[in-house]
Amino acid sequence: MVRVSSLDPTIAARLKRDADGLVPAVIQDVGSRDVLMVGWMDDEALHRTLSTGRGTFWSRSRQAYWVKGETSGHTQAVREVRLDCDGDTLLVLVDQTGPACHTGDLTCFDADRLL
Amino acid sequence: MVRVSSLDPTIAARLKRDADGLVPAVIQDVGSRDVLMVGWMDDEALHRTLSTGRGTFWSRSRQAYWVKGETSGHTQAVREVRLDCDGDTLLVLVDQTGPACHTGDLTCFDADRLL
């Protein structure tokens, strides 16, 4: 499914989306180089991320767009966006304000180490 | 769908898989801190990654397991594996031998910058 979007068609043509019209977006801090979180973007979330410079995602659970930090104030100022060789994953480098995780951890990967 | 796996049940119980039984695994170089690639793991791929110390994935296109570097020699020695706060994404820190991308680029995100 592809929702209506203002995404640049030359970018849209390179995206390979899953059955729900989404690609995973890896969010990395441009300063610490920590991987902060992974969110999901459809064409319009990517368009908003590129055009507003704010990390914007599609919530699979709520089926709605959300802007990182909209309620918490822990915003992501987007510095760089890259598409991978297969066109099915994004890497977004950001200046993160405050902790990136809703738990208060700096990253979403801080709490559960398997190895 | 969850394929038969030898994954530790206490880890399996924390995983939130997509409809195909998969979670994305972000692969980061432990030295350069570059995000190298994103692969997909089911329970058994994660089990093999944890038990062999080699980055092991499920290929969605070929519907088969693959070990990074098996044919190219560009192996990933796994140093750390983390599960995110939602249990639906893995972060794997590796010592990457050679370029991580099948194109010969150091990372899968080198070629296509959108912003």
Q: Please, which residues have CB within 8 angstroms of residue A55's CB and are 6 or more apart in sequence? A: A25, A27, A39, A49, A67, A68, A69, A75, A76, A78, A92, A94
User: Measured between CA atoms, how close is A77 to chain B, in angstroms?
Assistant: 12
* Alpha-carbon distances, residue B108 vs A18, A113, B105 (angstroms): 18, 25, 7
Instruction: Tokens 């208060």: give the residue.
Output: A104
Q: Is A50 within 8 Å of chain B by CB?
A: yes
Is the dihedral angle over the CA atoms B32, B37, B41, B44 positive or is it negative? negative
What is the Cα–Cα distance from B68 to B76, expressed in whole angstroms? 6
Each residue's pLDDT expressed in tens, for chain A with a length of 115 residues: 667 899 999 999 999 999 999 999 999 999 999 999 999 999 999 999 999 999 999 999 999 999 999 999 999 999 999 999 999 999 999 999 999 999 999 999 999 999 9
**Residue among A19, A38, A81 minimizing CB distance to B114:** A81
Phi and psi at B29, nearest 5°, equal -75, 125
pLDDT digits (tens, 9 = 90+) for A96-112: 999 999 999 999 999 99
Q: Where are the alpha helices (DSSP H) in A1-115?
A: 9-12, 43-52
Assembly ipTM: 0.96
Q: Quick check: A12 contacting B, CB < 8 Å?
A: no
Percent of chain B with pLDDT over 70: 98
Query: What residues have CB less than 8 Å from B32, skipping those under 6 apart?
Result: none
Best B49, B82, B107 residue to mutate vs chain A (most A CBs within 10 Å):
B82
Question: pLDDT per residue over B39-82, tens digit each?
Answer: 999 999 999 999 999 999 999 999 999 999 999 999 999 999 99
pLDDT for B4 equals 82
Q: In sequence order, what are the residues at sequence separation of 6 or more whose Cβ sits closer than 8 angstroms to the Cβ of residue B61? A: none
The pLDDT assigned to B2 comes to 62
**Chain A residues whose beta carbon lies within 8 Å of the beta carbon of residue B35:** 26, 28, 35, 91
Q: Closest Cα of chain B to A50: distance in Å?
A: 7
